[in-house]
Amino acid sequence: MNTVENIKDAYDVVIVGAGPAGLECAKNLGGSNLDVLIVEKNKVPGEKVCAGGVTFNDLAYIPKEILNFPLNNLHLKYKKTNVILSSPEGLISSVDRVKLACYQIDYLKKFKNIQLLTGVRVTRIISNFLLELSPGRQIKFKFLVGADGSVSVVRRYLRLPANKLGITFQYTLHTLPKKLELFQVFLDDNLFGSGYLWIFPHQDYTLVGCGSDLKIINPKILKSNFKKWLRLHKFNISEAKLKSAFINYDYRGYKFDNIFLIGDSAGLASGITGKGIYPAFLSGTQAARDIIQEHHSQNLIKEWLEKKEKQEKYMYFLKNPALRKFFLSSGIKLLSNKKIQKKGIQAFT
Ligand SMILES: Cc1cc2nc3c(=O)[nH]c(=O)nc-3n(C[C@H](O)[C@H](O)[C@H](O)COP(=O)(O)OP(=O)(O)OC[C@H]3O[C@@H](n4cnc5c(N)ncnc54)[C@H](O)[C@@H]3O)c2cc1C
Protein backbone atom coordinates (compact mmCIF):
# COMPACT_ATOMS: atom_id res chain seq x y z
CA MET A 1 0.00 0.00 0.00
CA ASN A 2 1.24 3.49 -0.84
CA THR A 3 1.65 6.01 1.96
CA VAL A 4 2.86 9.60 2.01
CA GLU A 5 6.14 8.25 3.46
CA ASN A 6 6.91 5.71 0.72
CA ILE A 7 5.96 7.66 -2.43
CA LYS A 8 8.63 9.42 -4.47
CA ASP A 9 9.37 13.17 -4.46
CA ALA A 10 8.83 13.59 -8.21
CA TYR A 11 6.54 12.06 -10.85
CA ASP A 12 6.07 12.59 -14.57
CA VAL A 13 2.31 12.86 -14.07
CA VAL A 14 0.29 13.56 -10.93
CA ILE A 15 -3.48 13.00 -11.20
CA VAL A 16 -5.54 14.68 -8.49
CA GLY A 17 -8.67 12.61 -7.82
CA ALA A 18 -9.60 8.95 -8.31
CA GLY A 19 -13.05 9.44 -9.81
CA PRO A 20 -13.96 8.01 -13.22
CA ALA A 21 -11.99 10.78 -14.98
CA GLY A 22 -8.73 10.39 -13.03
CA LEU A 23 -8.77 6.59 -13.08
CA GLU A 24 -9.54 6.48 -16.81
CA CYS A 25 -6.68 8.90 -17.47
CA ALA A 26 -4.36 6.65 -15.44
CA LYS A 27 -5.51 3.58 -17.37
CA ASN A 28 -4.57 5.27 -20.64
CA LEU A 29 -1.14 6.16 -19.24
CA GLY A 30 -0.68 2.58 -18.01
CA GLY A 31 2.27 0.79 -19.58
CA SER A 32 3.80 4.03 -20.88
CA ASN A 33 7.28 5.16 -19.81
CA LEU A 34 5.76 7.79 -17.52
CA ASP A 35 5.74 7.53 -13.74
CA VAL A 36 2.20 8.32 -12.61
CA LEU A 37 0.81 9.09 -9.16
CA ILE A 38 -2.93 9.35 -8.44
CA VAL A 39 -3.77 11.18 -5.20
CA GLU A 40 -7.27 10.64 -3.76
CA LYS A 41 -8.49 12.38 -0.61
CA ASN A 42 -11.01 9.69 0.33
CA LYS A 43 -9.86 6.42 1.88
CA VAL A 44 -12.49 4.61 -0.21
CA PRO A 45 -12.45 5.84 -3.83
CA GLY A 46 -15.89 6.19 -5.38
CA GLU A 47 -17.71 7.53 -2.33
CA LYS A 48 -19.28 10.42 -4.19
CA VAL A 49 -22.75 11.96 -4.15
CA CYS A 50 -24.08 10.72 -7.50
CA ALA A 51 -27.19 8.92 -8.76
CA GLY A 52 -24.99 6.52 -10.73
CA GLY A 53 -27.30 6.62 -13.75
CA VAL A 54 -25.72 5.24 -16.93
CA THR A 55 -26.98 5.01 -20.50
CA PHE A 56 -25.79 3.00 -23.50
CA ASN A 57 -22.83 5.26 -24.38
CA ASP A 58 -21.36 4.65 -20.88
CA LEU A 59 -21.11 0.96 -21.81
CA ALA A 60 -18.05 1.78 -23.91
CA TYR A 61 -16.30 2.24 -20.54
CA ILE A 62 -18.34 0.32 -17.96
CA PRO A 63 -18.81 -3.47 -18.35
CA LYS A 64 -22.43 -4.64 -18.24
CA GLU A 65 -21.49 -7.08 -15.47
CA ILE A 66 -21.07 -4.32 -12.90
CA LEU A 67 -24.36 -2.57 -13.73
CA ASN A 68 -27.17 -3.15 -11.26
CA PHE A 69 -29.69 -4.11 -13.95
CA PRO A 70 -29.82 -4.59 -17.71
CA LEU A 71 -30.67 -1.30 -19.44
CA ASN A 72 -34.24 -0.35 -18.60
CA ASN A 73 -36.93 2.17 -19.58
CA LEU A 74 -37.10 5.64 -18.07
CA HIS A 75 -40.42 6.94 -16.76
CA LEU A 76 -40.51 10.69 -17.36
CA LYS A 77 -43.26 12.61 -15.56
CA TYR A 78 -44.43 16.19 -15.74
CA LYS A 79 -47.30 16.82 -13.35
CA LYS A 80 -50.00 14.37 -14.54
CA THR A 81 -48.36 13.41 -17.84
CA ASN A 82 -46.27 10.26 -17.89
CA VAL A 83 -44.12 9.19 -20.84
CA ILE A 84 -42.14 5.96 -20.93
CA LEU A 85 -38.86 6.55 -22.73
CA SER A 86 -37.49 3.42 -24.29
CA SER A 87 -35.13 2.26 -26.99
CA PRO A 88 -34.61 -1.22 -28.48
CA GLU A 89 -31.48 -1.85 -26.34
CA GLY A 90 -32.97 -0.27 -23.22
CA LEU A 91 -32.11 3.20 -22.03
CA ILE A 92 -30.88 3.48 -18.48
CA SER A 93 -29.30 1.49 -15.67
CA SER A 94 -27.34 2.31 -12.55
CA VAL A 95 -23.89 1.57 -11.22
CA ASP A 96 -22.65 1.73 -7.65
CA ARG A 97 -19.89 4.33 -7.66
CA VAL A 98 -17.66 2.43 -5.22
CA LYS A 99 -18.00 -0.70 -7.36
CA LEU A 100 -17.09 1.33 -10.44
CA ALA A 101 -13.99 2.74 -8.74
CA CYS A 102 -12.96 -0.79 -7.59
CA TYR A 103 -13.33 -2.05 -11.15
CA GLN A 104 -11.18 0.79 -12.50
CA ILE A 105 -8.54 0.39 -9.77
CA ASP A 106 -8.34 -3.39 -10.28
CA TYR A 107 -7.51 -2.76 -13.92
CA LEU A 108 -4.65 -0.43 -12.94
CA LYS A 109 -2.97 -3.10 -10.81
CA LYS A 110 -1.25 -4.62 -13.85
CA PHE A 111 0.64 -1.40 -14.58
CA LYS A 112 3.92 -0.92 -12.73
CA ASN A 113 4.09 2.77 -13.65
CA ILE A 114 0.86 3.73 -11.84
CA GLN A 115 0.69 4.37 -8.08
CA LEU A 116 -2.47 5.22 -6.15
CA LEU A 117 -2.31 7.12 -2.87
CA THR A 118 -5.64 7.24 -0.99
CA GLY A 119 -6.78 9.13 2.09
CA VAL A 120 -4.48 12.06 1.23
CA ARG A 121 -5.65 15.46 0.02
CA VAL A 122 -3.83 17.75 -2.40
CA THR A 123 -4.03 20.99 -0.46
CA ARG A 124 -2.28 23.41 -2.79
CA ILE A 125 -0.76 23.71 -6.23
CA ILE A 126 2.33 25.76 -5.54
CA SER A 127 3.54 26.27 -9.12
CA ASN A 128 3.25 24.68 -12.56
CA PHE A 129 5.68 22.00 -11.35
CA LEU A 130 5.06 21.59 -7.60
CA LEU A 131 2.16 20.71 -5.33
CA GLU A 132 1.53 20.08 -1.65
CA LEU A 133 -0.17 17.13 0.03
CA SER A 134 -2.07 17.38 3.32
CA PRO A 135 0.75 16.53 5.77
CA GLY A 136 2.83 19.34 4.22
CA ARG A 137 4.66 17.03 1.81
CA GLN A 138 5.66 18.50 -1.57
CA ILE A 139 5.69 16.57 -4.86
CA LYS A 140 7.21 17.67 -8.17
CA PHE A 141 5.50 16.88 -11.47
CA LYS A 142 5.96 17.43 -15.20
CA PHE A 143 2.24 17.12 -15.98
CA LEU A 144 -0.63 17.73 -13.60
CA VAL A 145 -4.15 16.40 -14.22
CA GLY A 146 -7.00 17.97 -12.27
CA ALA A 147 -9.57 15.20 -11.94
CA ASP A 148 -10.78 16.49 -8.60
CA GLY A 149 -14.42 17.14 -9.31
CA SER A 150 -16.63 20.21 -9.22
CA VAL A 151 -14.78 21.97 -6.39
CA SER A 152 -11.31 21.59 -7.83
CA VAL A 153 -8.07 22.75 -6.29
CA VAL A 154 -6.39 22.53 -9.70
CA ARG A 155 -9.06 24.69 -11.35
CA ARG A 156 -8.68 27.20 -8.52
CA TYR A 157 -4.92 27.36 -9.17
CA LEU A 158 -5.67 28.10 -12.83
CA ARG A 159 -7.95 30.94 -11.66
CA LEU A 160 -10.84 29.71 -13.75
CA PRO A 161 -14.20 30.71 -12.32
CA ALA A 162 -17.10 28.22 -12.20
CA ASN A 163 -20.17 30.34 -12.83
CA LYS A 164 -22.42 27.61 -14.18
CA LEU A 165 -23.26 25.29 -11.31
CA GLY A 166 -25.98 22.81 -10.58
CA ILE A 167 -26.95 22.23 -6.95
CA THR A 168 -28.17 18.78 -5.92
CA PHE A 169 -29.67 17.03 -2.88
CA GLN A 170 -29.88 13.28 -2.50
CA TYR A 171 -31.02 10.59 -0.05
CA THR A 172 -29.97 6.95 -0.05
CA LEU A 173 -33.04 4.94 0.91
CA HIS A 174 -32.89 1.33 1.94
CA THR A 175 -36.61 0.66 2.16
CA LEU A 176 -39.07 1.57 -0.53
CA PRO A 177 -42.37 0.13 -1.71
CA LYS A 178 -41.70 -2.28 -4.58
CA LYS A 179 -43.67 -0.24 -7.09
CA LEU A 180 -41.03 2.50 -6.87
CA GLU A 181 -38.29 0.25 -8.20
CA LEU A 182 -38.38 1.93 -11.59
CA PHE A 183 -36.07 4.55 -13.11
CA GLN A 184 -38.13 7.70 -12.77
CA VAL A 185 -37.59 11.39 -13.46
CA PHE A 186 -40.08 14.05 -12.34
CA LEU A 187 -40.13 17.51 -13.87
CA ASP A 188 -41.95 20.35 -12.15
CA ASP A 189 -41.06 23.93 -12.99
CA ASN A 190 -42.53 25.23 -9.72
CA LEU A 191 -40.71 22.79 -7.45
CA PHE A 192 -37.45 21.96 -9.19
CA GLY A 193 -36.74 25.00 -11.39
CA SER A 194 -34.80 24.00 -14.50
CA GLY A 195 -33.94 20.62 -13.02
CA TYR A 196 -35.71 17.47 -11.95
CA LEU A 197 -36.20 14.89 -9.25
CA TRP A 198 -34.92 11.36 -9.83
CA ILE A 199 -35.58 7.95 -8.38
CA PHE A 200 -32.79 5.61 -9.45
CA PRO A 201 -32.89 2.07 -8.06
CA HIS A 202 -29.65 0.30 -7.19
CA GLN A 203 -29.18 -3.30 -6.03
CA ASP A 204 -29.59 -2.79 -2.27
CA TYR A 205 -30.78 0.80 -2.08
CA THR A 206 -32.56 3.51 -4.05
CA LEU A 207 -31.19 6.98 -4.71
CA VAL A 208 -33.74 9.75 -4.61
CA GLY A 209 -32.50 13.21 -5.39
CA CYS A 210 -33.12 16.48 -7.10
CA GLY A 211 -31.03 19.16 -8.72
CA SER A 212 -31.32 22.42 -10.59
CA ASP A 213 -29.23 25.28 -11.87
CA LEU A 214 -28.08 27.36 -8.93
CA LYS A 215 -29.07 30.60 -10.64
CA ILE A 216 -32.62 29.45 -11.35
CA ILE A 217 -33.76 28.32 -7.91
CA ASN A 218 -32.52 29.18 -4.45
CA PRO A 219 -30.95 26.03 -2.90
CA LYS A 220 -32.92 26.46 0.34
CA ILE A 221 -36.19 26.55 -1.62
CA LEU A 222 -35.15 23.59 -3.75
CA LYS A 223 -34.29 21.58 -0.63
CA SER A 224 -37.57 22.46 1.01
CA ASN A 225 -39.55 21.61 -2.18
CA PHE A 226 -37.70 18.29 -2.40
CA LYS A 227 -38.65 17.36 1.16
CA LYS A 228 -42.22 18.53 0.58
CA TRP A 229 -42.47 16.31 -2.52
CA LEU A 230 -41.06 13.32 -0.63
CA ARG A 231 -43.51 13.76 2.24
CA LEU A 232 -46.41 14.08 -0.20
CA HIS A 233 -45.36 10.85 -1.91
CA LYS A 234 -44.98 9.07 1.46
CA PHE A 235 -41.23 8.50 1.40
CA ASN A 236 -39.77 7.72 4.80
CA ILE A 237 -36.67 9.88 5.10
CA SER A 238 -36.56 10.00 8.90
CA GLU A 239 -33.46 7.78 9.14
CA ALA A 240 -31.78 8.88 5.90
CA LYS A 241 -29.00 11.46 5.66
CA LEU A 242 -29.42 14.27 3.15
CA LYS A 243 -26.32 14.84 1.03
CA SER A 244 -25.66 17.79 -1.22
CA ALA A 245 -23.15 18.47 -4.00
CA PHE A 246 -22.47 20.86 -6.84
CA ILE A 247 -22.13 19.95 -10.51
CA ASN A 248 -19.81 22.28 -12.39
CA TYR A 249 -20.81 22.65 -16.03
CA ASP A 250 -18.78 25.76 -16.85
CA TYR A 251 -16.31 24.50 -19.47
CA ARG A 252 -13.39 26.87 -20.17
CA GLY A 253 -10.82 24.57 -21.75
CA TYR A 254 -8.99 21.42 -20.68
CA LYS A 255 -5.35 21.98 -21.56
CA PHE A 256 -3.30 24.75 -19.96
CA ASP A 257 0.37 24.14 -20.88
CA ASN A 258 1.37 21.15 -18.72
CA ILE A 259 -1.83 21.23 -16.65
CA PHE A 260 -5.04 19.44 -17.66
CA LEU A 261 -8.58 19.57 -16.31
CA ILE A 262 -10.87 16.61 -16.91
CA GLY A 263 -14.40 15.55 -15.90
CA ASP A 264 -16.23 17.84 -13.50
CA SER A 265 -13.16 19.95 -12.74
CA ALA A 266 -13.25 21.00 -16.41
CA GLY A 267 -17.02 21.63 -16.24
CA LEU A 268 -17.82 18.85 -18.69
CA ALA A 269 -21.09 17.55 -17.21
CA SER A 270 -24.28 18.48 -19.02
CA GLY A 271 -25.99 21.54 -17.54
CA ILE A 272 -29.35 20.09 -18.55
CA THR A 273 -29.21 16.41 -17.54
CA GLY A 274 -26.26 16.40 -15.11
CA LYS A 275 -24.77 13.47 -17.03
CA GLY A 276 -21.10 13.59 -16.14
CA ILE A 277 -19.70 10.06 -15.86
CA TYR A 278 -19.43 9.62 -19.63
CA PRO A 279 -17.59 12.92 -20.30
CA ALA A 280 -15.35 12.08 -17.32
CA PHE A 281 -14.27 8.89 -19.12
CA LEU A 282 -13.88 10.65 -22.47
CA SER A 283 -11.82 13.50 -21.08
CA GLY A 284 -9.62 11.16 -19.01
CA THR A 285 -8.79 9.28 -22.21
CA GLN A 286 -8.18 12.47 -24.19
CA ALA A 287 -5.88 14.05 -21.60
CA ALA A 288 -3.78 10.86 -21.49
CA ARG A 289 -3.56 10.84 -25.30
CA ASP A 290 -2.36 14.45 -25.24
CA ILE A 291 0.25 13.69 -22.57
CA ILE A 292 1.71 10.71 -24.42
CA GLN A 293 1.24 12.54 -27.72
CA GLU A 294 -0.88 9.78 -29.22
CA HIS A 295 -2.64 11.34 -32.19
CA HIS A 296 -6.17 10.40 -33.18
CA SER A 297 -8.34 11.97 -35.84
CA GLN A 298 -11.03 13.00 -33.33
CA ASN A 299 -10.68 14.89 -30.11
CA LEU A 300 -13.04 13.14 -27.68
CA ILE A 301 -13.64 16.28 -25.62
CA LYS A 302 -14.54 18.38 -28.64
CA GLU A 303 -17.00 15.72 -29.76
CA TRP A 304 -18.74 15.72 -26.37
CA LEU A 305 -18.73 19.53 -26.23
CA GLU A 306 -20.78 19.71 -29.43
CA LYS A 307 -23.49 17.62 -27.77
CA LYS A 308 -23.26 19.46 -24.45
CA GLU A 309 -23.53 22.87 -26.13
CA LYS A 310 -26.57 21.79 -28.15
CA GLN A 311 -28.26 20.55 -24.95
CA GLU A 312 -27.44 23.72 -23.04
CA LYS A 313 -29.06 25.93 -25.69
CA TYR A 314 -32.34 24.83 -24.07
CA MET A 315 -31.22 26.66 -20.93
CA TYR A 316 -32.58 29.80 -22.58
CA PHE A 317 -36.14 28.44 -22.22
CA LEU A 318 -35.55 27.13 -18.72
CA LYS A 319 -34.32 30.41 -17.25
CA ASN A 320 -37.61 32.23 -17.73
CA PRO A 321 -40.54 30.87 -15.60
CA ALA A 322 -43.23 31.35 -18.28
CA LEU A 323 -41.10 29.91 -21.09
CA ARG A 324 -40.04 27.07 -18.80
CA LYS A 325 -43.63 26.04 -18.12
CA PHE A 326 -44.40 26.07 -21.83
CA PHE A 327 -41.19 24.26 -22.75
CA LEU A 328 -41.66 21.45 -20.22
CA SER A 329 -45.38 20.88 -20.80
CA SER A 330 -45.10 20.90 -24.61
CA GLY A 331 -41.77 19.00 -24.56
CA ILE A 332 -43.22 16.07 -22.64
CA LYS A 333 -46.20 15.84 -24.98
CA LEU A 334 -43.89 15.80 -28.01
CA LEU A 335 -41.92 12.96 -26.44
CA SER A 336 -44.99 10.71 -26.65
CA ASN A 337 -44.29 10.61 -30.39
CA LYS A 338 -41.84 7.73 -30.93
CA LYS A 339 -39.86 9.47 -33.71
CA ILE A 340 -39.37 12.61 -31.65
CA GLN A 341 -38.55 10.47 -28.61
CA LYS A 342 -35.79 8.69 -30.53
CA LYS A 343 -34.23 12.04 -31.49
CA GLY A 344 -34.62 13.32 -27.93
CA ILE A 345 -32.87 10.26 -26.52
CA GLN A 346 -29.99 10.64 -28.99
CA ALA A 347 -29.60 14.31 -28.10
CA PHE A 348 -29.84 14.02 -24.32
CA THR A 349 -27.99 10.80 -23.44
C1 LIG B 1 -26.30 14.29 -6.98
C2 LIG B 1 -25.60 13.98 -8.26
C3 LIG B 1 -26.13 13.02 -9.11
C4 LIG B 1 -25.46 12.70 -10.30
N5 LIG B 1 -25.98 11.72 -11.08
C6 LIG B 1 -25.34 11.38 -12.21
C7 LIG B 1 -25.85 10.31 -13.01
O8 LIG B 1 -26.86 9.69 -12.69
N9 LIG B 1 -25.18 10.00 -14.14
C10 LIG B 1 -24.05 10.68 -14.52
O11 LIG B 1 -23.48 10.37 -15.59
N12 LIG B 1 -23.55 11.68 -13.78
C13 LIG B 1 -24.16 12.04 -12.63
N14 LIG B 1 -23.65 13.03 -11.85
C15 LIG B 1 -22.41 13.67 -12.26
C16 LIG B 1 -21.23 12.76 -11.93
O17 LIG B 1 -21.28 12.38 -10.56
C18 LIG B 1 -19.92 13.50 -12.20
O19 LIG B 1 -20.00 14.16 -13.43
C20 LIG B 1 -18.75 12.53 -12.23
O21 LIG B 1 -18.58 11.91 -10.99
C22 LIG B 1 -17.48 13.28 -12.63
O23 LIG B 1 -16.37 12.45 -12.45
P24 LIG B 1 -14.95 13.07 -12.07
O25 LIG B 1 -14.01 11.93 -12.05
O26 LIG B 1 -14.68 14.25 -12.92
O27 LIG B 1 -15.15 13.68 -10.62
P28 LIG B 1 -15.57 12.96 -9.25
O29 LIG B 1 -16.35 11.74 -9.50
O30 LIG B 1 -16.17 14.05 -8.43
O31 LIG B 1 -14.18 12.54 -8.63
C32 LIG B 1 -13.30 13.49 -8.12
C33 LIG B 1 -12.40 12.81 -7.12
O34 LIG B 1 -11.41 13.72 -6.68
C35 LIG B 1 -11.26 13.60 -5.28
N36 LIG B 1 -10.72 14.88 -4.80
C37 LIG B 1 -11.34 16.08 -4.79
N38 LIG B 1 -10.53 17.03 -4.32
C39 LIG B 1 -9.36 16.42 -4.02
C40 LIG B 1 -8.10 16.89 -3.49
N41 LIG B 1 -7.92 18.16 -3.20
N42 LIG B 1 -7.12 15.98 -3.32
C43 LIG B 1 -7.31 14.67 -3.62
N44 LIG B 1 -8.46 14.18 -4.12
C45 LIG B 1 -9.47 15.05 -4.33
C46 LIG B 1 -12.67 13.30 -4.77
O47 LIG B 1 -12.67 12.68 -3.50
C48 LIG B 1 -13.17 12.37 -5.87
O49 LIG B 1 -12.89 11.02 -5.61
C50 LIG B 1 -24.28 13.39 -10.67
C51 LIG B 1 -23.75 14.36 -9.81
C52 LIG B 1 -24.40 14.66 -8.62
C53 LIG B 1 -23.81 15.70 -7.71
Q: How do residues 190-246 score in pLDDT, each as one tens digit?
A: 999 999 999 999 999 999 999 999 999 999 999 999 999 999 999 999 989 999 999
pLDDT of residue 177: 59
Distance 326 CA to ligand 1 centre (A): 32
The rounded Å distance from CA 12 to ligand 1 centre is: 24
Could you tell me if the CB of 212 is within 6 A of ligand 1? no
Residue 226, pLDDT score:
98
CA of 81 to the centre of ligand 1 (A): 32
Query: 149 CB less than 6 Å from ligand 1?
Result: yes
**79 Cα–ligand 1 center, Å:** 30
Q: Is the CB of 124 under 6 A from ligand 1?
A: no
- Determine if ligand 1 sits within 6 Å of the CB of residue 55: no
Give CA torsion, residues 222, 147, 28, 249, to 10 deg: 40
Domains identified in the chain and CATH numbers: 10-46+96-162+249-312 (3.50.50.60), 53-92+166-247 (3.30.9.10)
Looking at ligand 1, which residue's alpha carbon is closest to its atom 35?
Answer: 17
Regarding the beta carbon of 267 and ligand 1, being less than 6 Å apart is answered no
Please state the pTM of the whole predicted model. 0.97
* Cα distances (Å, whole numbers) of residue 229 to 188, 195, 245, 254: 10, 14, 19, 38
Which residue's alpha carbon is nearest to atom 15 within ligand 1?
Answer: 276
CB distance 93 to ligand 1 below 6 Å: no
Atom index in ligand 1 nearest the CA of residue 278 equals 11
Angle between helices 277-291 and 20-29 (to 10 degrees): 30
User: Which residues in the chain come in under a pLDDT of 70?
Assistant: 176-180
CB-ligand 1 contact for 168 (6 Å cutoff):
yes
Q: Do you know the residue count of the chain?
A: 349
- For residue 253, which phi and psi values (nearest 5 degrees)? 110, 160
Ligand 1 test: best mutation among 50, 123, 126, most atoms within 8 Å of CB?
Answer: 50
Q: Does any ligand 1 atom lie closer than 6 A to the CB of residue 46?
A: no
**Ligand 1 centre from 185 Cα, in Å?**
21
Q: Is the CB of 146 under 6 A from ligand 1?
A: no
Q: How far is the CA of 330 from the centre of ligand 1 (A)?
A: 32
Q: What residue's CA is closest to ligand 1, atom 27?
A: 149
Ligand 1 pocket residue status of 144, Cβ below 6 Å: no
pLDDT tens readout for residues 280-297? 999 999 999 999 999 999
